[in-house]
Amino acid sequence: MKKIKSNKRKKILKSKNVNIRMSESDWNKLKIKAAKNGLPYQTLMSAILHQYANGILEVGL
C-alpha cells in the first residue's frame, strides 16, 4: 500500500518540459513580473498554467 501511494505521488510531482511560442514583449513582461515577486519566470508561468488547468484562473478569450 505504501509503495502505491509513493508511485502516485511521484506521478503527480513529475513535470513535463514544454516549448511554447509567445511574443517577445509578453515574455519580457512575464520576466519582469516574476523578478518583482522574486521568482524565476518559469515558476511564474507554471503557477499560472497550473491555476488555469485546475479552474482557479479563468481567461476571457
Domain span including residue 50: 24-54
The pLDDT score that the predictor gives to residue 44 is: 96
The pLDDT score that the predictor gives to residue 46 is: 95
Q: How many domains does the chain have?
A: 1
> Rounded to whole angstroms, what are the CA distances from 28 to 16, 31, 33, 38?
23, 5, 9, 15
Instruction: State the Cα–Cα distance between residues 49 and 55, nearest whole angstrom.
Output: 10
Q: Is 48 helix (H, G, I), strand (E, B) or coil?
A: helix
Q: What is the pLDDT of residues 9-60, one digit of tens each?
A: 666 678 899 999 999 999 999 999 999 999 999 999 999 999 999 999 998 8
Query: What are the start-end ranges of the H helices in 1-40?
Result: 2-13, 24-36
With respect to residue 3, please indicate whether it lies within any of the assigned structural domains.
Answer: no
* pTM reported for the whole predicted model: 0.72
With respect to residue 9, please indicate whether it lies within any of the assigned structural domains.
Answer: no
With respect to residue 43, please indicate whether it lies within any of the assigned structural domains.
Answer: yes
With respect to residue 48, please indicate whether it lies within any of the assigned structural domains.
Answer: yes
The pLDDT score that the predictor gives to residue 4 is: 62
